[in-house]
Amino acid sequence: MAESLPWPGRMGQSRHLHIFDAAPRAELREVTAPQTAPSPDVARPRPQAATLELRSATKRYPGQDEAAVDGLSLTVPAGEICVLVGPSGCGKTTAMRMVNRMIEITEGDILLDDRSVRDRAPAELRREIGYAIQQIGLFPHLTVAANVAVVPRLLGWDRDRIDARVRELLQLVSLDEGTGERYPAQLSGGQRQRVGVARALAADPPLMLMDEPFGAIDPINRERLQNEFLRLQAEIRKTIVFVTHDIDEAIKMGDKIAILQEGGILAQFASPAELLMYPASPFVEDFVGSDRALKRLALQRVRDIDLWKAAVVRAGEPVADVRKKLEDADLDIPLLVDDHGRPKGWLSERGMTGERVREELRSPADPIVELDDILRDALSDLLGSDTRYGPVVDADGRVAGVLSMEALSHALSVPAEHIPTPSELAAATDGDE
């Protein structure tokens, strides 16, 4: 039930103003919003996130000749999602756990906001870093509320503050307040996952580590949780290290993706678009798959590309005007719309034989594509219809342009640098609503 609710990130901003004030921290860092995001409303809370830097971080397990992670260097800017991806056993989990010192590095260093994690007491460091693993990570003997409250309790918050924080977090992840009293065994997989996220966020950590957080969820719910998480991230803008073995998930979630290969060697560190367009080695090319051009289609939404201009006409309009509009349009068939601007169908020649436009339809207006659809889904819609083009509508169903195969293939030739990252996309959609 609750799963079909959107994250509150979609439901207006005011509620979030106070959420992250709960844990005041000495160093509040300002995070610059990506260029493509709409100017954030002034009232938005100043998010806190840390910069994470790995410098030749190396882990050699005792008794093993080969390193599990070998000289890993990468920087995750504050507020970004860095996905560690690679085949099983390539050292993703090891790399992630070196950050919160669950695994001690053998060589190199890891800096959190320019401070070496090796200078921090492990337990104290970990309380400042959100940690989420597969759904099994919830404590079965604690209620949902108590699960969420674990770290705040460790930090010695008083009861009222903890209670208030738990309520806020459950709301933030779209769970009923009543869920707090239930035990994990009484929740669905998706609900458990949300509690896991809420718990990782409990003390408002500037960094979150997530090890295959959606790994145990069925594909349909995983997709939804991924979308919700991206929207939530657009809101909270944490620095996140996200581990997965699934390249599609990596492409979807990552602002930057670090592909690791056997032995913990960094094969490539790049944005999803760069990775798909310019794989640095045969290994990367192989790992991202031979359908990488198609995968790029998942990176962009219909609203991100140049659409065709249609001659939008209403019944009763002078035919002369329509002919003028057609000269301007990219398509020589007028698109008939209703009074609200919603597409009715493609106008046939006979509809323009008189003085004024008559409702004489040549073909229905499907497929109808939405501005928020990702290009892959839009392409699929086009392939499934006869016309190879279709009207694009906005959230209110009004025509915003026409998507055609030509427009799509043109979009594929855009350089990677111009393709926004997932969290920029989420921020953009979020801001529009």
Partner 1 sequence: MMPLASYAPALAQLDDNFFGDRRNAVNECPGNNGLCPGWIFDNIDQYLSPLWEHVLLSIVPLVLGFLVATTLALLAHRYKFLGTGFLAIVSALFTIPSIAFYLILLNVTGRGFATAVIVLTAYTLVLIYRNVQTGLEEVPREMVDVAEGMGLTRRQILFRVELPMALPTIFAGLRIAASSTVGIAGFAFFAGAGGLGQEIFAAPTFRGNVVAASVLMILLATVLELAVLAVQRSFTPWERAVST
Contacting positions for Mg ion (CB under 5 A): 93
Angle at 214 between CA 233 and CA 250, to 5 degrees: 65
Q: How many residues bind ligand ADP (CB under 6 A)?
A: 10
Binding mask 173-212 for ligand ADP (x = CB under 6 A): ----------------------------------------
Q: How far is the CB of 275 from partner 1 (least distance, A)?
A: 28
Q: State which residue has the least CB distance to Mg ion.
A: 93
How many whole angstroms separate alpha carbon 78 and alpha carbon 46? 12
100 binds, options partner 1, Mg ion, ligand ADP, none, Cβ within 5 to 8 A by partner type: partner 1
Interface residues for ligand ADP in 94-153 (CB under 6 A)?
94
Q: How far is the CB of 267 from Mg ion (least distance, A)?
A: 17
CA contacts within 13 A on the Cβ side of 53: 10
How many whole angstroms separate alpha carbon 269 and alpha carbon 258? 4
Residue that the structure tokens 């790029």 belong to:
296
Candidates 51, 79, 92, 168: give the one binding ligand ADP (CB under 6 A).
92
CA contacts within 13 A on the Cβ side of 104: 7
Quote the DSSP letter at residue 1.
-
Through-space distance between the first and last CA atoms of the chain, rounded to whole angstroms: 23
The residue (of 93 and 134) whose beta carbon lies closer to Mg ion is: 93
The residue (of 14 and 88) whose beta carbon lies closer to Mg ion is: 88
90 binds, options partner 1, ligand ADP, Mg ion, none, Cβ within 5 to 8 A by partner type: ligand ADP
Q: How far is the CB of 91 from ligand ADP (least distance, A)?
A: 4
The residue (of 86 and 351) whose beta carbon lies closer to ligand ADP is: 86
Binding mask 48-87 for partner 1 (x = CB under 8 A): ----------------------------------------
Is 61 near ligand ADP (CB under 6 A)?
A: yes
Which span sits near ligand ADP by CB under 6 A: 88-96, 300-308, 316-324, 384-392? 88-96
Candidates 185, 219, 339, 386: give the one binding partner 1 (CB under 8 A).
185
The three-class DSSP label of residue 338 is coil
88 binds, options partner 1, ligand ADP, Mg ion, none, Cβ within 5 to 8 A by partner type: ligand ADP
The three-class DSSP label of residue 87 is coil
Count CB atoms within 10 A of the CB of residue 333.
18
Which CA distances in Å does 104 have to 70, 83, 148, 289, 384? 13, 21, 27, 34, 53
Q: How far is the CB of 122 from partner 1 (least distance, A)?
A: 8
Count CB atoms within 10 A of the CB of residue 114.
9
Residues 6+ apart with CB under 8 A from 172: 7, 8, 16, 19, 198, 201, 232
How many whole angstroms separate alpha carbon 99 and alpha carbon 82? 13
How many whole angstroms separate alpha carbon 275 and alpha carbon 298? 13
Interface residues for partner 1 in 222-241 (CB under 8 A)?
none
Candidates 89, 122, 318, 354: give the one binding ligand ADP (CB under 6 A).
89
Q: How far is the CB of 123 from partner 1 (least distance, A)?
A: 5
The residue (of 3 and 330) whose beta carbon lies closer to partner 1 is: 3
How many whole angstroms separate alpha carbon 51 and alpha carbon 116? 12
How many whole angstroms separate alpha carbon 377 and alpha carbon 367? 11
What are the residues binding ligand ADP (CB under 6 A)? 61, 68, 86, 88-94
What are the residues binding partner 1 (CB under 8 A)? 97, 100, 102, 122-128, 131, 133-134, 136-137, 139-143, 150-151, 154, 182-183, 185-187, 199, 209
